[in-house]
Amino acid sequence: MKYFHKMWKGINELSESLLIGILFFFILNMSLQNYEVVGDSMVPKYQQGDRLLLMKFSYMKNFINDDYFKPFNPKRGDVIVFNYPLNQDRKFIKRIIGLPGDTITINQGKIYLNGIRIIEPYLDNDKYKDLSDFGPVTIDNRHVFVLGDNRWVSNDSRNWGVLSYDLIIGEPMIKYWPLN
């Protein structure tokens, strides 16, 4: 009888450990995702081949009123990873420039938000800015306007339009490779 009791206790402990491991796996899988930067559109912040850990619930949807939970609402200047609108099998990384209701105009590479020129401190070097013109475009509800930091090579909202909130995966939490 003692043998069966020990065996039952061992099976019970093993099943508890297994259940905790499975629960931990699902929580991590739902909240974190790795991403490898492809291309040079976010140079100098992110380089080709950088590996990032994304916080997937950065923009958690509130199903009651179809909005997003604060403080997780997208903000100007946030870097996000999203499914490319023209091919959702691909993932892009860009910076949010405009929010719903904003009007964006680009004049000789300078960005105007609602008629006021914005300063972009994350672009510390003019070699990444281009001198193109774009807009004006007013951003729809539940959409954002995104641009790459390296404007010369970036495939962004200037090419395919505004980005729906529903395509946002999350924002980079940590760059884990390369280690520098």
pLDDT tens-digit readout, 97-156:
999 999 999 998 889 999 999 988 877 666 666 778 888 999 998 899 999 988 888 899
Best CA proximity match to 128, nearest among 149, 106, 155, 157: 149
Alpha carbons 8 and 20: distance in angstroms, whole number: 18
Alpha carbon 109 to its chain's center: 24
Instruction: State yes or no: is 94 an active-site residue.
Output: yes
Pick the range with the lowest mean pLDDT from 15-29, 82-96, 113-127: 15-29
The larger pLDDT score, comparing residue 144 to residue 2, is at 144
Chain segment 42-62, per-residue pLDDT in tens: 988 898 989 898 877 655 555
What is the third-level CATH fold of 33-177? Umud Fragment, subunit A (2.10.109)
- Give this prediction's pTM: 0.77
Catalytic, out of 45, 58, 94, 154? 94
Instruction: State yes or no: is 41 an active-site residue.
Output: yes
Place of tokens 């904003």: 102
Mean pLDDT of 21-40: 78
Taken in order 100, 126, 132, 45, the sign of the CA dihedral is: negative
The confidence score (pLDDT) of residue 71 equals 47
List of E strands, the chain: 32-36, 51-55, 61-62, 67-68, 79-83, 91-98, 103-107, 110-113, 116-117, 134-138, 143-147, 163-164, 168-177
The larger pLDDT score, comparing residue 111 to residue 3, is at 111
